[in-house]
């Protein structure tokens, strides 16, 4: 039984850490691109959810891609980069392949194009627009992050498991406290029984001593009586 409880505790702890890491990843991917001027990263890497199929089959909508900060001077035609741009008159981050690089007066400009698009992107970008270089992906994980970004997803996957774990830990704590109280009560009962036994042993010893003393006094009295009778004769 104790082994089962220990196993359940270990499993619950592992699940909690998994949920915490998932929540941290969710929080980071949610906040990473919130700033219009700066994209957050962890050790130079930024996870992003793909929203369209413009780069299929390299990666598709629903995938999660990883962007790594890079030295833009080393970028070449064919590299896939993430960059700041304007799409439908709104600020956006886009990840497309470099189709052309031009340099004028030491300033580089990049023409980009989605692998699944027929024409190049309308806006020409510069070094300052580039966030980083595409380095890998996790298929369909973007859908997971999109689900987590919804209120229902966050509640079901993050909040509810953590609440259940908290309840389990509270139950475990109460169980431990009750077991400690039972153990303390058992120790007190044993101590009381031992004390009673010791007291009984002491009382018996005192009774034996008193009886021995009485016998001694009786023997002395009988001896004195016999002596008195002898003197009388």
**3-state class of 145 per DSSP?**
helix
* pLDDT of 154: 73
d(CA 8, CA 66): 35
d(CA 223, CA 225): 5
CA distance 58 to 117: 12
The predicted model gives 159-174 an average pLDDT of 80
Point out which residues pair with 134 in neighbouring strands: 67
User: pLDDT tens digits, residue range 31-59?
Assistant: 555 555 567 777 888 888 899 999 999 99
DSSP 122-163: SS-EEGGGEEEEEEEEETTHHHHHHHHHSHHHHIIIIIHHHH
Token pair for 32: 């990473």
Domain at 36-141: CATH code: 2.10.109.10
80 contacts 58 by C-beta, under 8 angstroms: yes
Mean pLDDT of the chain: 80
Q: Where are the domains of the chain?
A: 36-141
Question: Residue 229's pLDDT is what?
Answer: 57
CA dihedral angle for residue 49, residue 102, residue 79, residue 39, rounded to 10 degrees = -30
Beta bridge partners of 90: 87
User: Which band of pLDDT confidence, cut at 50, 70 and 90, is reported for residue 179?
Assistant: confident
Residues pairing with 103 in the sheet: 108
- Helices (H), strands (E): how many in the chain? 4, 7
> Do 123 and 86 meet the contact criterion of CB atoms below 8 Å apart?
yes
Q: What is the mean pLDDT of residues 149-160?
A: 75
The confidence score (pLDDT) of residue 129 equals 93
Contact (CB, 8 A) for 97 and 115: yes
Structural contact between residues 143 and 65, judged by C-beta atoms closer than 8 angstroms: no
Contact 124, 111 (CB under 8 A): yes
The Cα–Cα gap between 115 and 79 comes to 12
> Mean pLDDT across the stretch 212-216?
70
Instruction: Point out the least confidently predicted range of 34-48, 102-116, 210-224.
Output: 210-224
Rg (CA), the chain: 42
Joined together, the tokens standing for residue 163 give 């609440």
Which residues, including other chains, have CB under 8 Å from residue 99's CB and lie 6 or more apart? 77, 111, 112, 113, 120
Task: Identify the band that residue 230 occupies on the pLDDT scale cut at 50, 70 and 90.
Answer: low
Q: How far apart are CA 81 and CA 88, in angstroms?
A: 20
Does the pTM of the predicted model rise above 0.75?
no
> 72 pLDDT band (50/70/90 cuts)?
very high
Sorting pLDDT into bands at 50, 70 and 90, what band is 17? confident
pLDDT number for residue 171: 83
Lowest mean pLDDT among 18-32, 65-79, 131-145: 18-32
């Amino acid at each position: 039984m104790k082994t089962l409880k220990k196993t359940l505790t270990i499993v619950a702890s592992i699940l909690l850490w998994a949920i915490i890491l998932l929540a941290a990843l969710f929080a980071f991917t949610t906040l990473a691109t919130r700033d219009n001027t700066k994209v957050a990263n962890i050790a130079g890497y930024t996870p992003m959810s793909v929203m369209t199929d413009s780069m299929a089959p390299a990666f598709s909508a629903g995938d999660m891609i990883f962007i790594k900060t890079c030295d833009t001077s080393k970028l070449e035609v064919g590299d896939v980069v993430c960059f700041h741009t304007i799409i439908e008159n709104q600020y956006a981050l886009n990840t497309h392949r470099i189709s052309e690089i031009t340099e004028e007066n030491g300033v580089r400009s990049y023409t980009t194009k989605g692998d699944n698009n027929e024409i190049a992107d309308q806006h020409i970008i510069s070094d300052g627009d580039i966030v980083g270089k595409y380095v890998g992906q996790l298929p369909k994980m973007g859908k997971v992050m999109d689900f987590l970004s919804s209120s229902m997803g966050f509640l079901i996957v993050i909040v509810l498991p953590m609440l259940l774990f908290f309840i389990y830990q509270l139950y475990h704590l109460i169980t431990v406290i009750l077991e400690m109280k039972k153990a303390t009560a058992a120790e007190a009962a044993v101590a009381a029984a031992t004390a009673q036994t010791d007291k009984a042993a002491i009382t018996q010893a005192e009774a034996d001593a008193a009886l021995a003393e009485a016998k001694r006094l009786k023997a002395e009295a009988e001896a004195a009586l016999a002596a008195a009778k002898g003197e009388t004769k």
